[in-house]
Structure 1
Amino acid sequence: MALRPVLLIAALAAASPAFAQETPPPADTGGDFAIVGAGAAILPDYEGSNDYRFTPVPAAAGRLGGFNFQLVGNRLSVDLLDDGPGPGWDIQAGPVGVLNLNRTSIKAIEDTRIKALGKISTAVEAGAYFGIGRVGVITSDYDRLSVTATYRHDVGSVHGAGVFTPSITYMTPLSRKAMVGIFGSADRVEHGYASTYFGVTPQGSAASGLAVYDPRGGWKSWTAGVGGAVSLTGDLTGGLQLVAGGTYSRMLGDFADSPIVSVAGAKGQWIGAAGFAFSF
């Protein structure tokens, strides 16, 4: 069983996929339920940018017939294993799908050099995740420590490569009305991803003025984040919640050295998000 807690529905899950495979709210009985949310996030114009913009973030999560599902922004995942409620070990496994929207809209990019490189089509990435967590670790029967690994691959021909993401997450309720979470993750990508989003072809160099660059695949970045939720009505198991959080990511290796990052952008990026979620 692996369900996003309320705090991530409109905020942190939008900021990082590491928050996308986590726990049910306090007092989970193992029955069906749903959480829907909406919020706004401030995020870089593109992966590696030093310019920022606002974007809306829709989200939904729930359990139906013993299967947990999560839809957050451009990411959908389903946990096919039901370990039951309460303290103990929690094994998670299931499919995941992502629409990679990086640089798919020229209008959303401020930097003229990146605009000149041209639009990249939306990549449809599909794969699976596996994780193991422990519910009831330190503070109560409902806090949770989880380690997850996700692999997804472009099913089309946009970048034709895979992305591997290991992550670790800790979440704890402070009461029936508030909870917090922290996480860390990293992305390792294959060459096709690297060259598509961080490479500069001779034609792109002539158009943008950026140097020709062909990065290898490898560890692309690490990310750390924190967030929380507070109930405005009811408690975390039902009612309206205010959610907020943020992440910081740092580019690594060839990706940090790409002129798309080192010249036109920045090695570090922040994402912040806030919104409302309703659980029932």
Structure 2
Amino acid sequence: MHIFRSRLAATLVAVLPLCAPAMAQDEEQHSSLTIGVGGAAIPSYEGSDDYRVMPIVQARGKVHDFAFWTRGTTLYVDAIPDPTGTGVNFELGPVVNVRLDRTSRKGIKDDAVRLLGKRDVAVEVGGFVGIGKTGVITSDYDNLSARVAVTKDVAGAHGSTVITPTIEYFTPLSMTTFVGLSASADYVGKKYGRYYFDITPQESLASGLDVYDRAGRGSGFKRMSVNLTAGKSLSGDLRKGWAVFGLAGYARVLGKYGDSPIVADAGSRNQWVGAIGVGYTF
């Protein structure tokens, strides 16, 4: 179980696209739940050029118009109830992420990075704020939204702050099909770079990778990513029943983080992800 969780945390973008069916809900339905399960091909650690196939579970729903959703190992809860119909929707609420990157040596394929040793589990707690609009371009049900999440590790792992701005657009093409596009970035504090990307002299001796200390000298943008998602209802209506989903994504490790030997020598700045799965909307 520990190995499975570490593989899940190797990327934040290996998720099933569960947003669009919720956007297409009947205006009179104030509570709903969508559960998705599937498989994803993801890097074995952030910055790796080796890939693993792993199972994933995602969820999205709302209770009396209060929405919640998951993204990888992150849970968002919107404390502002969603309005019905078209118009502007404001988002504000707590967010929690469990980061398990490199917490198990068995989940890392590269020998040198594995010899750097394990990292502790990070529990990142904070909040997010956002704004969205339903009924933008193609219909009364397409949605454009932007949000910013700010979290801090409270478990004593990297002990730093992570800021994640995200822009998403989803549109149903019919009652049975939707597509979506999202873009996001991660801005991290210096402790994050020091913990995951710097290499001490002792770690260099153990792994054979060069000593590196630039990532922990200050904060900066660590990664940007773009994801394309699509879904097809198997029941004839995206608002209920079974559906199949797919995701294709690209991310790039930026700047001094991409210059770290765990990326530049043992891995790659270019990160790819693909996922397929099925979901059921109650």
TM-score by length of 1: 0.91
**Structure-2 change in CA distance of 1:194 and 1:93 (3 Å):** same
- Once the two structures are superposed, the pairs formed by residues 210-221 of structure 1 within 5 Å of their partners are 210-214=209-213, 215=215, 216=217, 217-221=219-223
1:204-253 residue CA offsets vs partner (Å, 9 max, x unmatched): 00000111111132011110110100001141100100000111001111
Specify the alignment match of 2:258 in structure 1.
Answer: 256
Specify the SS of the correspondent of 1:194.
Answer: helix
Specify the SS of the correspondent of 2:42.
Answer: strand
Specify the alignment match of 2:156 in structure 1.
Answer: 157
> Relative to structure 2, which stretch is displaced further, 54-63 or 173-182?
54-63
Contact 2:19 2:60 survives alignment (8 Å): no
User: 1:25, CA displacement in angstroms?
Assistant: 3.1
Specify the alignment match of 1:207 in structure 2.
Answer: 206
Specify the alignment match of 2:24 in structure 1.
Answer: 26
Distance in 2 (CA, whole Å) between partners of 1:222 and 1:63 is 29
1:64-117 residue CA offsets vs partner (Å, 9 max, x unmatched): 133211234411110110132210001011111111011011101110100100
Distance in 2 (CA, whole Å) between partners of 1:21 and 1:174 is 14
Specify the alignment match of 1:15 in structure 2.
Answer: 13
Contact 1:18 1:169 survives alignment (8 Å): no
> Relative to structure 2, which stretch is displaced further, 209-218 or 35-44?
209-218
**Structure-2 change in CA distance of 1:96 and 1:16 (3 Å):** farther
Contact 1:18 1:183 survives alignment (8 Å): no
Specify the SS of the correspondent of 1:117.
Answer: coil
Q: What CA RMSD, in Å, does the superposition of the two structures yield over aligned residues?
A: 1.9
Contact 2:135 2:142 survives alignment (8 Å): yes
Specify the SS of the correspondent of 1:254.
Answer: helix
- Once the two structures are superposed, the pairs formed by residues 72-221 of structure 1 within 5 Å of their partners are 72-214=71-213, 215=215, 216=217, 217-221=219-223
Distance in 2 (CA, whole Å) between partners of 1:21 and 1:274 is 15
**Structure-2 change in CA distance of 1:21 and 1:130 (3 Å):** farther
Specify the SS of the correspondent of 1:184.
Answer: strand
> Relative to structure 2, which stretch is displaced further, 61-70 or 122-131?
61-70
**Structure-2 change in CA distance of 1:16 and 1:152 (3 Å):** farther
> Relative to structure 2, which stretch is displaced further, 58-67 or 83-92?
58-67
1:166-185 residue CA offsets vs partner (Å, 9 max, x unmatched): 11111100011000000111
Amino acid at match of 1:218: G
* Alignment gaps of 5+ in structure 1: 1-12
**Structure-2 change in CA distance of 1:76 and 1:22 (3 Å):** farther
Contact 1:165 1:186 survives alignment (8 Å): yes
Contact 2:186 2:221 survives alignment (8 Å): yes
Distance in 2 (CA, whole Å) between partners of 1:221 and 1:279 is 32
> Relative to structure 2, which stretch is displaced further, 214-223 or 20-29?
20-29
Distance in 2 (CA, whole Å) between partners of 1:18 and 1:276 is 9
Distance in 1 (CA, whole Å) between partners of 2:258 and 2:71 is 27
Please list every run of at least 4 consecutive aligned residues from structure 1 whose deviation after the TM superposition is greater than 6 angstroms.
17-23
Number of matched pairs: 268
Specify the alignment match of 2:232 in structure 1.
Answer: 230
